[in-house]
A and B are shown apart, each in its own frame.
Chain A
């Protein structure tokens, strides 16, 4: 637990950089340069957020001609222009099918998110969970998952030992889960452990005691399934344990405003993006308040069913059915959705960039990892995947670059992010998607 001395307060204030509007006293908890906690010298935490949009960015036209720092952002990414210096754009990578069928909207993501192309039943160990195992220990939630179109299955996060996680679809429910009555403000002066939480915590051990009895006669597959249950039970116990301890103060933590009650789920893209922006605020605040270090957002499943108001067809239908405009070189109606999503990505990044933590913003301390299910949308291709990575992972990643890797394995992008996040892997992926060298241009 950190105690506060007057001297340290002064020191912190003299340090200058750390003293920002609104929270001067708490910034004293950081060291002079605002890079670490003063008491422990521990670096401020690194965070990882994945952000999924369906159906790619367009045909070839989104790939900038130049690589490196001096490149023009393509039309689809124009809304990210103000923070071009904080992002890297990756192009050219592909997912190798190695003889497996391209199960559209699935196989590609399976390949670059888990490193392995296999049957639909096999989806284990996504990039975010491998990173979470390194950076996410000891927080109230191992990770948070949300989807913006009302579909709880729109989620690509899966641990090594279980299937895909399900997503929260309601901003109000997410708010209540994080900032409801069980939330302990890390900056509160007083901390009193809640007796009701203590009671629950010890009661759960009665469930743990059932484990041996249940396990003893099960076959392997049922054992694995039950193991998953007990993993979840341990997470719940850990969550309660954390609620019983005084949290480490976090200077940038503040409680966001509670979202309004939900409207009915609609398939309108603008409604989904409104929900997206609520999620962006909640996730940014949850990260700043130390509730989790990993979050996963999906706008939709790959087959986006979102529509523009007054139009009968949805985004996915347009990618199949809309002719490519010979002058523009892409499908204009489908592009409307791509641009809307990219504006959302900008809004998400700004929700993180608006939170100052010492000498850096929350975005600077993170990687916001935006990825999609297909390269060229009309063909539902698994080549030339666009990835947009924002933030510099606490200074471990250079930004402002376009990195082209034509024909390379798309798994290199995930592998590079894992390297920046400190995942101790020398290589990653299976068969042709196996990679052992990161895209070193962006690593510091």
Chain B
């Protein structure tokens, strides 16, 4: 069992966390406070599969198919975007990048794409052509490496393209070899943080302009900078407030922002776990593969609509009655849906608003949350409660001890303990279990109206489900009550702000700084407008603070 020292207690109190857990000998604590500051962390970040895909789409268009698998990601401080710091490239991983790269490069130069994607024509398509190769490599390399290529890098690539073209007597094959080489280069696969002497503060360093550019574009767009941003960085414009603001304003109003917001919430809501999640069709015939994919899309659409299009209050995401549905999702949720518009046109995704008295509202009632955090055949209030604490409130729940007797939880046929709540209550009566379960179960049990697949129910084994609970002392009943409690909990907004910063920076913010307090204030003053939050992070000095271990000035 964990011992509770004074420092931890103070810390837990300082971040305003449930006292129930502490009283029982356990504590929840803000996840990023839990670990001592690492001393030897890398600062370079491996680009994620979604960043890779987004970059290729931004550079070459959406008609380039990206087929193949990526190396798995690791989660750190709640995000894959932070885990990217320690992500390596293994032998099999590089083979995969190599396969992807060749697949992409062949398409870019094929007859269907070359006219639009290669801005010059060789004098002879059956031989090397230095001028055209130079043009393509310079233009494309700049977007892939997120900076202008140096002359010797260009020369190297011209040689690769030329040698290859000569060998197989095909200019485009040569270009494809060069492109696939750039696509497996660490200059593309990793983001490096480069610092330079800070002219305003003698003896200090600052992030160089191009590093600022990609940090900004990965925060807002989940991909590398476009040509305009690179241009601004090369001119040094990002090193002054006005120049930075011009770019941030442009980027925030770009349609690419949606991709950034989607990627951020997919990461924060741990959607990558869907890859290894399935439901038993014997219990949940409506939970098909299609539903699994669509449930993620449902939540992302709800989010984009609410925080980007309507620029609504972030907290309302947990209570909003507006969402989007397909026919299969409507079947899962058992709500009627007519799949045509007023003039009879078919419509795959439809906006849908739950009625005033409907027990479902907000993104936590969607299958992307309640089904993702349930085992294949039954619910787990503990699992849901833990996920809610960790993903939405940025709190950490300690792992259970090894030698636990779960006999009560298991026995679903016990005549005394008919519902999951009964069984968990019996389990919690054991002292060693009580501490953690007080943290997770009262919030998880409020979601018991949703079965393991996300379908709605009011009874279990013939007994009415009791969905009362409490969050940090606030009592409520049912999923609507829980969603209101989450809406009102100060940890909810503090959490999304920290995660958004970390998503772009690859590290959690120092939350006791004045800079951070200003960002939090600005978020509050904007009525928790998420786009304003992103804008403030993008304009803050702390977002570009020199990490502890960086590339030295050149």
Interface residues of A (CB under 8 A from B): 102-104, 121, 141-143, 145, 149-153, 162-163, 165-166, 168, 170, 173, 177, 195-196, 198-200, 202-204, 206-207, 209-210, 214, 217-222, 224-226, 228-229, 231-233, 235-236, 239, 264-268, 305, 307, 309-314, 317-318, 320-323, 378-381
Contact = CB atoms under 8 A, between A and B. Distances in A.
Contact of B164 (A166, A199, A232): A199
A219 B185 contact: no
Nearest to A223: B42
B167 A225 contact: no
A229 B402 contact: no
A235 B91 contact: yes
A195 to B, nearest CB: 6
Interface in B13-62: 40-44
B402 A312 contact: no
Given A228-B88, A232-B89, A314-B375, A195 B167 contact: yes
Contacts of B550: 219
Contacts of B132: none
24 contacts: A150-B276, A152-B69, A162-B88, A196-B168, A202-B160, A203-B163, A203-B180, A204-B184, A207-B185, A210-B185, A214-B186, A218-B44, A219-B43, A225-B44, A226-B190, A229-B190, A235-B91, A236-B98, A239-B95, A267-B376, A305-B375, A312-B378, A317-B375, A321-B409
A314 B43 contact: no
Given A145-B92, A321-B407, A267 B177 contact: no
A162 B552 contact: no
Contacts of B164: 199, 202-203
B89 A320 contact: no
A166 B159 contact: no
Nearest to A309: B282
A210 B187 contact: yes
A217 B549 contact: no
A264 B289 contact: yes
A229 B90 CA distance: 7
Contacts of A322: 410
B160 A203 contact: yes
B430 interface: no
Nearest to B178: A203
Interface of B: 40-44, 69, 71-72, 86, 88-95, 98, 102, 153, 156-157, 159-160, 163-164, 167-168, 173, 177-178, 180-181, 184-187, 189-190, 192, 194, 275-276, 278, 280, 282-283, 289, 375-378, 399, 402-404, 406-407, 409-410, 412, 452, 549-554
A312 B163 CA distance: 60
A236 B101 CA distance: 14
Q: 7 tightest CB-CB pairs across the interface, nearest first?
A: A312-B377, A321-B410, A321-B406, A380-B402, A219-B549, A232-B94, A221-B42
Given A305-B276, A311-B377, 10 more contacts: A199-B177, A203-B164, A221-B549, A228-B89, A235-B94, A236-B91, A236-B94, A267-B280, A313-B410, A321-B406
A315 B375 CA distance: 11
Contacts of A317: 375, 406, 410
B137 to A, nearest CB: 11
A173 B91 contact: no
A221 B280 contact: no
Contacts of B553: 217
A220 B407 CA distance: 50
B451 to A, nearest CB: 11
Contacts of A221: 40-43, 549
Nearest to A169: B69
A381 B159 CA distance: 59
Given A206-B160, A229-B186, A165 B378 contact: no
A195 B164 CA distance: 10
